[in-house]
Amino acid sequence: MAVFAIRELIIDGKDVPASGGRTTEDLNPLTGEVYAAVAAADPEDVTLAVDAAERAFPAWSATSPSARRAIFLKAADVFESRVDEAVAIMAAEVGGAAPWARFNAKLAAGMLREAAASITQPLGEVLTTDTPGRLSYAVREPMGVVAAFSPWNAPLILGIRSVAVPLAVGNTAVLKPSEDAPIGAGLFVADVFREAGLPPGVLNVITNAPEDAGDIAETLISDERVRIVNFTGSTKVGRIIGGLATYHLKPALLELGGKNSLLVLDDADVDYAVDATTFGAFHNAGQVCMSTDRVLVHRSIAEKFTSKLAAKVESLPHGDPADPATVIGPLVSERGARHVDGLVTEAVEAGARIRTGGTPARGTSYTATVLDNVTPEMRIYREEIFGPAVTVIPVDTDDEAVAIANDTEYGLSAGIITDDTRRGLALARRLHTGIVHVGNQTVDDEAQVPFGGVKSSGYGRFGGRWSVEAFTVTRWVTVADRHQHFPF
């Protein structure tokens, strides 16, 4: 397959080559062939991008709310008009199956509209004061240049999320997308904004070769003109990004990995629980930070549940993500497939039982897998799977289910399947996660909700007013209507 395009960096509204003239390959995970080539930035390109963002900030932050809102609403319309293109990019670049890609596009457009709505929301409040003749108030203002890092697994959603509210409230940004999705998680996002009329320099995109990722990130975060960092990705890399931001005394919003549990209580509708688990564990081949990794099911229904789950998972169509019938497409890389294969193989050698799947990885493909007889000594019990596999762990009590769910360094999402809402809510309050869904599985997202985790799943919240708070700085301002009295 020939390279269909060479994409350059986007700096100050223009497509420009990397200063060193280098490019890097963007591979199709299904075929292993080159899908595109993108510019491989050097540190000096990062500085040029920050230069452009800094120049654009005064005018953009002073742009009227109605003018900014019009651009965002048009961007949402543009995004929806290019859904088929976005779906094709996700299929070729990250192996995203069509239903998942269309969900990405729909939610991304919704995030743009939610960001547009946030532009005209109140950004301050009048405060009480003990000083006569003085007005005291708090106001939220844009911070300046934002460094944004977007991942590959939900490139459209998370590419948009990394910059939408930051730009909406008046910041400018430099976006560094994942090396596995430089187009979907970065360049396509910028293309949509440019078509919608976003001024040059407000959003700049830096792509890079994988071996340069560390230097590019450090150059971006260490630039004194960058005022805040947001990163979505693995906990391993998130620790590095967060450490750099802390060293340079910059706030960071980190949304990282998860080891998410679904609690299936003894009163659960088993068929519903099976359907919920299948979706939660195998959506996007399990490559979702919220994926259901562990099902903690009451022992009285465990065998019935596991048998039905294995049968349903075995029937899931695998194959080409461009085929609308495909549910399980390829993983993004052979490394990802080997990771899942290694977790499953080691668990089986230690006594875990395969109920379906478990076929050794072939390239980037891995068969949807269900395991039981999993114990705490196994890596798969604690490590994020991030692939098409799920473990089923029987429990005898609600207390035991809560204890196992909390027995992890992560704390992103959880689900509870029960017909007793009060019981489910009581358990939800005991789970150490940023997100919990009673009556549902672990995977869900909406543009206006506070999205994020605790513990090693990160800190800060994307979404709604929480994003506005994250990407603005609060200032205290007073106005005296008379001369003040001073003691000396």
- Distance, in Å, from the CA atom of 411 to the CA atom of 445, rounded to the nearest integer, reads 16
Q: What φ, ψ does residue 117 adopt, rounded to 5°?
A: -65, -35
Instruction: Point out the catalytic residue in the list 54, 255, 314, 349.
Output: 255
Catalytic residue status for 8 = no
Asked if 441 contacts 293 with a C-beta cutoff of 8 angstroms, the reply is: no
Name the strands in the sheet holding 389-395, side by side, starting at the edge strand that comes first in the sequence.
353-356, 369-372, 389-395, 292-298, 260-264, 414-417, 437-438
Asked if 141 contacts 472 with a C-beta cutoff of 8 angstroms, the reply is: yes
Instruction: Point out the catalytic residue in the list 93, 114, 179, 289.
Output: 289
Residue 346, C-beta contacts closer than 8 angstroms, at least 6 positions apart? 378, 379, 380
- Distance, in Å, from the CA atom of 462 to the CA atom of 464, rounded to the nearest integer, reads 7
3-state secondary structure of 232: strand
3-state secondary structure of 54: helix
Asked if 286 contacts 343 with a C-beta cutoff of 8 angstroms, the reply is: no
- What is the DSSP secondary-structure string of 144-210? SEEEEEE-SSSHHHHHHHHHHHHHHTT-EEEEEE-TT-TIIIIIHHHHHHHHHTPPTTSEEE----G
Q: Is the dihedral of CA 363, 237, 107, 25 positive or negative?
A: negative
**Torsion of Cα atoms, 235 then 251 then 140 then 52, to 10°:** -100
Catalytic residues: 255, 289
